[in-house]
Amino acid sequence: MRVADIIAQKRDGGKLAADQIRFLVDGYVQGRIPDYQISSFLMAVYFRSMDDEETVVLTRAIIDSGIIMDFSRLEGPIIDKHSTGGVGDKTSLVIAPLVASCGVFVPMISGRGLGHTGGTLDKLESIPGFNANLSLKEFKEIVRRVKSALIGQTGDLAPADKKLYALRDVTATVESVPLIVASIISKKVAEGIHGLVLDVKAGSGAFMKTWEHARVLAQALVRTARLLGKKVTALITSMEEPLGHAVGNAVEVAEAVDVLKGAGPEDLKELSFTLAAEMLLLAGKARNFDDARHVLEQRIADGGALRKFCEIIAAQGGDPRAIDDGPLWARASHRYEIKSPRKGFIQSIKAEPIGKAAMLLGAGRETVDSKIDHTAAVWVCKKSGEEIGGNEVYCALEFNDDRRLQEAIALVEGAVVIGEAPPEPTKLILERIVEC
């Protein structure tokens, strides 16, 4: 087999055989095939795409480049959730303890933030002592004992994805549906799960800017996961504006804790409960959606979900008192409030500039090695549809370092539109995909 022949076959729109795809992935991981040939292959896939059969083989080859977690000794369903990422999205922090408190194992391997979107691990690391860098052995032991743990990607699971993703990032080949599908599903299947709920974001603050593009991705994710023997449901959800009020790290954990205590913003509650209910359905823990919602509401009301979050934090070396103890939640030293020039109604709040403003204040990473300030934040004090008075605060910036404050203020001011009449209501959950 010659690498150049395989590249040419894909370049000309041909279908690749399983042994050709495996030859490329194995050869790349083992260092026999150089970056420049794989770059060329990725670009051929970007333009010519792959059918379901090829995508499954690619996904399988990436899975087989590492180990698959063996949870066979666990008695009970093992279900995870994956989100394609957004601004203010702290649903994992609600869902992992909430679903685990209902008797489902939730092993979550999450990412770090980059650019305008935040990462679950950065948020969790604002809890004093929390360790997201567990070995797979420690991760397994905590999942067995506590039912859930949240860690970062390790080099043992789907290592081919790490290498391929780094190459895609610098060769403008990230935005290819089969490549995204293989990347996401390989990491999830390697977690040893039975089922997966996918939150595919659509909108200006998301990877997929339109509902139609998000649907194409969601359908391909569902088909591939199913062909690999996993139960799967995908929701397409709106990422036009930030989820909840808090955008940052420590502030997002605090907002997730509010939801676990039965309070919190409506949009965050709705999305967290809907995704969690889908997980209970896949786990066979509820007969229908209403039944699942009822079980979840009980776990919030009886404190089970919040206790589970404290158990997870303690098991991962964190201080669970952080959940109740104000002083442990360090806040940034400065606050700048942005006020409405006139009275009216908030028409829209663009997610991407708000996420970028939070990043400029130190809450996120501009490059993979930027250092995070866990206390920097943007507060979206008013959500769209809300009435606002003249000179009333609609956003607040919290920061320790004001070097990029003016840029952040300009982004936030440009992100919020205020008009005279109430806007048309918008939908948060756009579509549910189970079959396609």
Q: What SS3 state is found at 432?
A: strand
Choosing from 80, 161, 267, 373, the catalytic residue is 161
Parallel, antiparallel or unpaired: strands 429-433 and 231-238: antiparallel
Minimum distance from CB of 119 to ligand URA (Å)? 11
Nearer to ligand URA by Cβ, of 25 and 260: the residue is 25
- 416 forms beta bridges with 349
For ligand URA, the binding residues (CB under 6 A) are: 165, 174, 179-180, 183-184
Phi then psi for residue 303, to 5 deg, are 80, 0
Contact 245, 379 (CB under 8 A): yes
CB of 147 to ligand URA, least distance (A): 24
The nearest distance, CB 85 to ligand URA, in angstroms, is 7
Verify whether residue 161 is a known catalytic residue: yes
Residue with tokens 């979206």: 380
- CA dist 61 and 24 (Å) reads 9
168 assigned to active site: yes
Q: 233 vs 12, 61, 222, 433, CA distance in Å?
A: 34, 23, 7, 6
126 labelled catalytic: no
Active-site residue, 140 included: no
- Asked whether 103 and 296 are in contact (CB, 8 A), the reply is no
What are the residue ranges of helices labelled H in 12-157? Answer: 18-29, 35-48, 52-63, 91-100, 120-124, 136-146
Q: Which of the residues 10, 60, 81, 82 is marked catalytic?
A: 82
Residues in CB range of 396: below 8 A, 6 or more apart: 335, 336, 337, 338, 378, 379, 381
* Residue 174 or 396 having the CB closest to ligand URA: 174
Smallest gap from Cβ 175 to ligand URA, in A, equals 9
Tell me if residue 82 is catalytic. Answer: yes
Find the farthest-apart pair of alpha carbons in the chain and give their distance in angstroms, rounded.
70
User: What are 195's strand-pairing partners?
Assistant: 79, 231
Cα(375)–Cα(400) distance, rounded to whole angstroms? 8
Query: Which residue of the set 101, 183, 186, 340 is catalytic?
Result: 183
Complex with ligand URA: residue 184 or 251, whichever CB lies closer: 184
With respect to ligand URA, which residue has the nearer C-beta, 64 or 392? 64
Q: Is the CB of 111 or the CB of 303 nearer to ligand URA?
A: 111
Return the number of the residue (174 or 405) whose C-beta is nearest ligand URA.
174
The pair of structure tokens assigned to 230 is 């996993």
Query: Least CB distance from residue 183 to ligand URA, whole Å?
Result: 3
- C-alpha span between 406 and 360 (Å, rounded): 10
Smallest distance, Å, CB 174 to ligand URA?
6
Catalytic residues: 82, 161, 168, 183, 187
